[in-house]
Structures are given as structure tokens and as C-alpha cells.
Amino acid sequence: MLLLVGLLGQPAFAETVDVKYRGPVDVAKFQCTGELDSSVVKRVCYNAEHSYMLIRLKQTWYHYCEIDQGTVSALLAAGSKGNFYSENIKDAATGGKFGCRDKPVPEF
């Protein structure tokens, strides 16, 4: 958890991101990383209260529901964030166990 707190900070200004399959989301209620040194995972925003993550992969934002803080911390600590994302979060066919297709999407 300390790693998550250390890597995520509050945004310094109002910012809205356009999330694929959802639309615009204001990240004011999220803790967001700055730009990450990864060829795939460029930025992560997490709202612990709702277990809800926004992730920018290259230039596209995606969202994940009911994702625990431990998984987000492990993603941020991974040597290869892209591999961790592919193996533990993403599943193109089913939306993965954190996909929002069959879960309530938080409103902000």
C-alpha cells in the first residue's frame, strides 16, 4: 500500500479524460500517477473508495471495475507493466475479471 500511495498523487488541476466505452471522466476523485516509463502503460488513476481504475494504454484510456488496491499496487511495481497488465488485468474476450461489462460503473 505504501508503494501505491508513493506512486499516486492527487492531480494538481481539473482534468477530464475520455475513457473508451464510457466517455469523459473527471479524475479529480482519483489518485493518478504521472507519466510512467512503460511502452504500453502510460498512466494509471485509481479510486480506492469505488475500487475503480482508469488506465491509459499508449493513447487510449480504459476502465476497470472492482479492482483491488493490491492489484493496482502490483501493476505499478511490476518490472514490465505491460506484461503484468496483459497477464493479470486484461482479457480481451471476456473483459477480464475486472471488466466493467457486468459490474456497476461508479458515477462521479
Q: Domain segments of the chain: what residues?
A: 2-77
What is the pTM for the complete model shown? 0.85
Query: What does the pLDDT read at residue 56?
Result: 98
Q: What is the mean pLDDT of residues 60-65?
A: 96
pLDDT digits (tens, 9 = 90+) for 15-55: 999 999 999 999 999 999 999 999 999 999 999 999 999 99
Cβ neighbours, 10 Å, residue 14: 8
Identity of residue 88: N
- 52 closest CA partner among 69, 64, 70, 34: 64
Query: What does the pLDDT read at residue 101?
Result: 87
Query: Which of the listed ranges 11-15, 50-54, 87-91 does the model predict with the highest average pLDDT?
Result: 50-54
Q: Exposed, middle or buried by CB within 10 Å (0-12, 13-18, 19+), for 29?
A: middle
